[in-house]
Amino acid sequence: MGGHLSGGADAAGPADFEAQARERLDDPTWAWLAGGAADEISLRGNRAAWEALALWPHVLRPLQQAHTRVELLGRTLAAPLLLAPVAYQRLLHPLGEAGSALAAATQGAGVVLSAMSSIALEDVARHVLAEPARGPLWFQLYLSGDRGFDLALVQRAEAAGFEALVLTVDAPVQGVRERERRAGFRLPDGVAAVHFAGAPVPPPPDPAAMCAGLLARAPTWDDVAWLRAQTRLPLLLKGVLRADDARQAAALGAAGLVISNHGGRTLDTVTPTATALPRIADALGGALPLLVDGGIRRGTDVLKAAALGARAVLLGRAPLFALAAAGPQGVAQSLRRLRDELEIALALTGCASLADASRALLEPAQ
């Protein structure tokens, strides 16, 4: 790989953007982007779980009307693809989140902007909302323990035109990011979580307390209920892996769930998302739209996610490898290729739409 690739335009597949990103980024930034928690067992496990699912294609089905459209929270998406919320994208390209989000919007893909964005949410929203082909525009956030600050951020997102909130619930503390630590990753000058510029200073760490006292501010189900009452926007929870938690989220009025293990970046050896997804789908019986992320690289992965009960997928590292390798054009290309692959996967399994992708595509009856 490498020599014949003069740029993103020559990438033959996702591995090419990844290899180019590896070459262009310095070691610490690469460790931050590509690494996972501890021994990276979940990082690899996410990918392996999608790969291990075998497809059983149908043949000779009518495909003339085939399409990749899905409905999601009242909008129609051209394809079930959204950018996952990833922090600090200016580490990868000067345009940062503005670049990746605009590229996604031109492809009809959705955008979930990270609260830790290195570009102000209003700037990202302006770019996305101006794009007629755009998909949904959502804002991801954490609960910081300071309700006033959190509420102000939510109101900024509402005012800027974001259409849903995605509350991340799987990271009350940071994971063991050993690859980053070994590579000496630190945020360079000029890249910051701009929404937190005026944030209240948290109490100093308490070395005697568990997790240095951070858990005193860890959110609970009560905080979710509070947040839901503060906003007119649909509220999704991101980071749910268990059926019991999924039922509780539904009971509390969540508008959807993102089945996620934070891309293998928080707790290592957590179950792969492809394993958790069908259990939650079975538990909820369609009561809520489910999204999933973690290791999705191929159109066949998207099809399998749909077969297991997901309405759409979130894409983290794949488009960001492309952003680092080839800028916003690379992001657009990677999303376009993923959609092309999804079209091919639908056609080659005889599915006229994602609604045809049921569990039987993976576990045929005898």
Kindly state the number of chain residues that form the binding site for a copy of itself, as judged by CB under 8 A. Answer: 84
Residues numbered 80-139 forming contacts with a copy of itself, rule: CB under 8 A: none
Tell me the C-alpha distance between 350 and 234, whole Å: 34
Closest distance of CB 197 from a copy of itself, Å? 27
Residues numbered 302-361 forming contacts with a copy of itself, rule: CB under 8 A: 304, 341, 343-349
* 187 contacts: CB under 8 Å, gap ≥ 6: 88, 91
The reply to whether 267 sits near a copy of itself by the rule CB under 8 A is yes
Tell me the C-alpha distance between 189 and 365, whole Å: 58
Write out the two tokens for 227.
């947040």
Residues numbered 35-64 forming contacts with a copy of itself, rule: CB under 8 A: 38-39, 41, 45, 51, 53-64
The residue within the footprint of a copy of itself, chosen from 7, 26, 130, 220 (CB under 8 A), is: 220
The residue within the footprint of a copy of itself, chosen from 268, 312, 324, 354 (CB under 8 A), is: 268
* 229 contacts: CB under 8 Å, gap ≥ 6: none
- Judged by beta carbon, residue 96 or residue 319, the one nearer a copy of itself is 319
Bridge partner residues of 141 (DSSP): 167
CB atoms closer than 10 angstroms to residue 174: 11
Tell me the C-alpha distance between 136 and 254, whole Å: 17
CB-neighbour burial class of residue 328 (10 A; exposed 0-12, middle 13-18, buried 19+): buried
The reply to whether 4 sits near a copy of itself by the rule CB under 8 A is yes
Helix (H, G, I), strand (E, B) or coil at 256: strand
Beta strand pairing call for 70-72 and 75-77 = antiparallel
The answer to whether 143 touches 227, Cβ cutoff 8 Å, is yes
Write out the two tokens for 73.
């929270």
The residue within the footprint of a copy of itself, chosen from 155, 159, 182, 206 (CB under 8 A), is: 182
Closest distance of CB 102 from a copy of itself, Å? 20
Closest distance of CB 351 from a copy of itself, Å? 11
Closest distance of CB 98 from a copy of itself, Å? 26
- Judged by beta carbon, residue 57 or residue 188, the one nearer a copy of itself is 57
The answer to whether 214 touches 175, Cβ cutoff 8 Å, is no
- Judged by beta carbon, residue 241 or residue 325, the one nearer a copy of itself is 241
Tell me the C-alpha distance between 250 and 125, whole Å: 28
Closest distance of CB 286 from a copy of itself, Å? 16
The residue within the footprint of a copy of itself, chosen from 76, 155, 269, 358 (CB under 8 A), is: 269
The answer to whether 259 touches 281, Cβ cutoff 8 Å, is no
Helix (H, G, I), strand (E, B) or coil at 173: coil
Answer positive or negative: Cα dihedral of 84, 90, 96, 100: negative
The answer to whether 157 touches 121, Cβ cutoff 8 Å, is yes
- Judged by beta carbon, residue 159 or residue 355, the one nearer a copy of itself is 355
The reply to whether 26 sits near a copy of itself by the rule CB under 8 A is no
The reply to whether 216 sits near a copy of itself by the rule CB under 8 A is yes
The residue within the footprint of a copy of itself, chosen from 9, 130, 133, 215 (CB under 8 A), is: 215
- Judged by beta carbon, residue 68 or residue 334, the one nearer a copy of itself is 68
The residue within the footprint of a copy of itself, chosen from 122, 243, 247, 287 (CB under 8 A), is: 243
The reply to whether 144 sits near a copy of itself by the rule CB under 8 A is no
The residue within the footprint of a copy of itself, chosen from 16, 18, 97, 356 (CB under 8 A), is: 16
Residue the block writes with tokens 């003339």: 64
In angstroms, how far apart are the furthest CA atoms of the chain? 66
Taking CB under 8 A as the binding criterion, the range among 118-126, 128-136, 173-181, 192-200 that sits at the site for a copy of itself is: 173-181
- Judged by beta carbon, residue 50 or residue 138, the one nearer a copy of itself is 50
- Is 4 one of the annotated active-site residues of the chain? no
Tell me the C-alpha distance between 278 and 280, whole Å: 5
- Judged by beta carbon, residue 147 or residue 159, the one nearer a copy of itself is 147
Enzyme catalytic residues: 262
